[in-house]
Structure 1
Amino acid sequence: MIKFCKIAVLVFVVILGLSSCEKEPKGQERVFVVAFDQKFTSYSNIRDEAKIDLVFSKAADFDGMLTIRLSAKNAEYQTDFTTIPRIDNNSEFQVPIKAGTKSTEFIFKNLIYPFDREDKVIQFEIVNVDYPDTFLLQGNTRTMVSFAASLGGTIAPEIGGPSQAFQVYVELSSGTVKEVARTSWELAFSSEADRVKINGSIYMAAKKLDTNDIDQVRQSQVSGFFSEVAVGTFDPVNENYVDAPSGDVTKTAIAEIKENDAENAVYLINMGFEPGQLANPAGADVAGEKRGWKKIRILKRQDDYLLQYANLNDSSHKEVRIKKNQAYNFSFYSLIAESEVSVEPTKENWDLNFTVFTNVIAGNGSYGYSDFVSNNTRGNSRAYAVIVTGSTPQDLAVKLEQAYADVQVDDSKLSNDQRVIGAEWRDVFTGQAFKDRFFVLKDAKGNYYKIKMISMLNEKGQRGYPKFEYQLIQ
């Protein structure tokens, strides 16, 4: 029986602190804290309008009112942008606090798209809280809309709960998030090298066959390989059937595509698994029904790829020509939909990928991991971990916060391995993010960010709900 990282965890009630507000002072449980949910919103993400959220430390006991002051640089109100509610003569507007709610919002409307300039900066600041009880302004009392690199924030990638049906790509400098069904593709054609990746997020595997005639291959000839060409067999030989988990594009299960057609063999393709369908799994449920098998062969045509593919018992095959697109790391193809699909953002416009992942355990071959985070080494996003020690949990927490606040970047530690965060941020036995570490990432634009993973479970104790905070290191 194939085993994956679907270790059942006990159901924990995870009480998460409000990401944008500090905890209430001891002995002042009735203190009401208000803050902006995010420090920054990228102007480039706002074609029409965006909600600007403000969050409370607890549900409001009373109605109240927040006063927000607006200031702008290189942007004119009612020409470049406007807000709902509108500002008054003092460049201020009010946003209601409603009893029983834990947040409120206002609308930022962009009035010029495509953008006419990229030096616009709009800042919003909480300048007054009209509330009947004791209140504090802590955390993000200001937020900014700008084209500059994001100052940071908190992101909860929606990977789909226990089945983790989505891969989520995140660009830190803009706060942009892109979700893609992880079953939407099988093959990724490199723009950098003559290489083709398989989709490790659905536990695919590929075996080179001793033929280059795809139409002569039949299931009866290859079915003996079915048990070995798979992920999670605990046989070291299956490392040969998956891509190098480090992200090294020169070490793919499918060999380099050669100019000479005769050197390009047929491959047996294990199509992996659909996401699970259990209603209330105790842990992750990422491997459901098997997706079957295909046979493929890939040739070169000038600087393009020619993909041949068919079902195992087909006596003829289909062909499609796939061009290299230098704006992207890879061009992606779906053997099911029989079409190219959009998966990754452009080459240097993403940093992190929250995904199911095929890794390797030394001596045990390839193995499936849930709740995995890779970074975009192909797009020059490099990272390293900062790990601290403490004598007690309280001591550890203090030292972690000090290290996080005072971190000094060490470029020599930045790694070319895409698994720096990987599975090294969470403990599947407790269902919690590790409390002794954070990560430093340098993106393709030269920005440095510190990243702290917060949680992996939702309030019901289910996996597939990651959350992290990040800050620009200035």
Structure 2
Amino acid sequence: MNRLIKPLLVIAFLGIFSACSDDDPPLPDNLASFESTAKGFEGESVDVKVNLSRAAESAVSISVALTPTLLTYGTQFTTEPAATNNTLALTVPAGQTSATFKVLKKTGVLLNGDETIQFKIASVASPVLVGTNTALKLSFKAIISEGTSIQLNGIAAGEAGSAAGNSVYLDLSGNTQTPVLRDSWDLGFNSGTDFRVILNNANGATAVQINKSDINAVSDKDIDITTLAVGQGVGTFALYDDVTGALTKTAIKEISATEAENKVYVINRAGGSGSVLAVDKIYKVRILRKGTGYTLQYAKLNETTFKTLDVTKDATYNFQFASLEKGTAVNVEPAKARWDIVWGYSLYLTGTTPYAFSDLVFINHHAGVTAAEVLTSTATYDAYAESNISTTTFVADRDVIGSKWRVTSGGTVGVKTDRFYVIKDASGNVYKLRFINFHASDGGERGKPKLEYKLVKKGA
């Protein structure tokens, strides 16, 4: 009897498994689209990206046609890769979700800003299909976008979306997103009047002051490095920069003009989960003023000689950034007039407890961006118009959006559809913005949130 039962059970199981497989819904079409339908061009070059709605199973060929107006290819501009007969041949590698090409202005060329290039996705190799944003107009001047739909690229290298490796800066008026590896920097040096230095909250960095002014005299004997741990209920708010972004509440005290007052700090450059890096990955720093800028002294915790890096303020940016691992200045934030919000992972708080959050959205409050949350019980997104602006209370709180736009647990996971946001940029342009999805539960992809925004009122 037993000999008969086992084969029957196996057959029954296989039948059930086969039936379940047949009932699984097919994957949605994989679509190729431009990030937006319009883009401005300042400087000497600009990147243009074609995105797939999900990673390619095999390499995908894409053909993009270009039509210049008041421009001649090879005379005023070129592209990388080079175009042949006004057509670009791009490839999305297997496992990737985008292909990027570069438009470069020829050296010494003077343009009046009326020049444009119209790009169109001409064809895509099967099984990928052409998506919605099939055309993009590139203007050789800054634009004030009328709005667009966009998917932020938070994934750096296949990591889980809940721990996305990129912070993504978004310029609403320019339809431009700038993904930056959040592990690429450690310290940000204020370009304003005050001499303040920020930690990388986006990488879970923490710092403790040591009551010594000689950096070479500091070692692991001066600190229990486990006290640098923060997140998941561990640590204190004093270990990292205030989540409001207030420069008067940084973990590193204001850099004094009196050199002896500037003490050494021990830094855990990556954390947030209640753990600390190994001692050979821990750094010590001392920061001094140098004229109108800074001098950074830095070394690993148990090294007995330090290196230096001079940092010059640049009023075009909120901060100048440095990497301790590279020992160099690094590019992070776009120019302060070229971004409005940033999305990503960061140290934050839950109640009175230090906590690391995914999918946080902060506004560029240092550059004068303000925003408001609007509940749809007050005004719907579609109906919100210029006449509503006078009754909208804009605030400069860095976390006015924060984590309030989505639910990740304890309820219906996904974007909150009962609210949207109104953002006023530093030029006075007013946009309404709503999130579309960000999680598999609401039809999205964790680490790549989709949102849309529309211009409500152009700045004066």
Structure 1 residues 288 and 144 mapped into 2: Cα distance closer, same or farther (>3 Å)? farther
Which residue, 140, 145, 154 being the options, matches 2:149?
Answer: 154
Please say if 1:244 is aligned against 2:242: yes
* Greater relative contact order (CA < 8 Å, ≥ 6 in sequence): 1
Please say if 1:380 is aligned against 2:368: yes
Shift in Å, 1:180? 1.4
Structure 1 residues 18 and 150 mapped into 2: Cα distance closer, same or farther (>3 Å)? farther
Distance 1:260 1:204 in 2: 26
Q: Which residue of 1 aligns with 2:187?
A: 187
1:131-150 correspondence to structure 2 within 5 Å: 145-146=138-139, 147=141, 148-150=143-145
Shift in Å, 1:203? 0.7
Task: Give CA deviations for 1:11-57 in whole Å, capped at 9, x if unaligned.
Answer: xx99999999xxxxxxxxxxxxxx998443335499589689999xx
Task: Give CA deviations for 1:448-471 in whole Å, capped at 9, x if unaligned.
Answer: 111111111259975212111111
Residues 348, 380 of structure 1: 8 Å contact kept: no
Distance 1:49 1:339 in 2: 24
Residues 14, 457 of structure 1: 8 Å contact kept: no
1:100-139 correspondence to structure 2 within 5 Å: 116-120=111-115
Distance 2:40 2:414 in 1: 30
Structure 1 portions without partners, runs of 5+: 1-12, 21-34, 56-67, 88-106, 126-138, 275-285, 391-398
Shift in Å, 1:287? 9.1
Identity %: 31
Shift in Å, 1:85? 11
DSSP 3-state at the match of 2:438 = strand
Structure 1 residues 336 and 421 mapped into 2: Cα distance closer, same or farther (>3 Å)? same
Which residue, 431, 443, 447 being the options, matches 1:464?
Answer: 447
Distance 2:26 2:402 in 1: 22
DSSP 3-state at the match of 1:348 = helix
Q: Which residue of 1 aligns with 2:261?
A: 263
Q: Which residue of 2 aligns with 1:313?
A: 302
Distance 1:222 1:381 in 2: 40
Shift in Å, 1:259? 0.4
Amino acid at match of 1:354: W
Provide the aligned C-alpha RMSD in A.
Answer: 4.3
- The structure where helix makes up a greater share of residues is 2
TM-score, structure 2 as length reference: 0.70
Distance 1:370 1:124 in 2: 35
Q: Which residue of 2 aligns with 1:327?
A: 316
DSSP 3-state at the match of 1:465 = coil
Q: Which residue of 1 aligns with 2:233?
A: 234
1:280-295 correspondence to structure 2 within 5 Å: 290=277, 292-295=281-284
Count of equivalent residues: 383
Q: Which residue of 2 aligns with 1:95?
A: none
Q: Which residue of 1 aligns with 2:437?
A: 455
TM-score, structure 1 as length reference: 0.68
Distance 1:173 1:52 in 2: 20
Distance 1:169 1:301 in 2: 30
Distance 2:391 2:304 in 1: 54
Structure 1 residues 471 and 112 mapped into 2: Cα distance closer, same or farther (>3 Å)? farther
Residues 243, 251 of structure 1: 8 Å contact kept: yes
DSSP 3-state at the match of 2:398 = coil
Task: Give CA deviations for 1:178-229 in whole Å, capped at 9, x if unaligned.
Answer: 2211111110111112000000011111112222222222212201xx3333
Q: Which residue of 2 aligns with 1:277?
A: none
1:10-409 correspondence to structure 2 within 5 Å: 38-44=36-42, 47=45, 75=70, 116-120=111-115, 145-146=138-139, 147=141, 148-160=143-155, 161-162=160-161, 163-192=163-192, 193-223=194-224, 226-232=225-231, 234=233, 238-273=236-271, 290=277, 292-364=281-353, 366-389=354-377, 400-404=380-384, 408-409=388-389
Which residue, 420, 425, 431 being the options, matches 1:443?
Answer: 425
Distance 1:426 1:435 in 2: 9
Residues 145, 455 of structure 2: 8 Å contact kept: yes
Residues 36, 175 of structure 2: 8 Å contact kept: no
DSSP 3-state at the match of 2:450 = strand
Which residue, 403, 406, 414 being the options, matches 2:394?
Answer: 414
Shift in Å, 1:319? 1.8
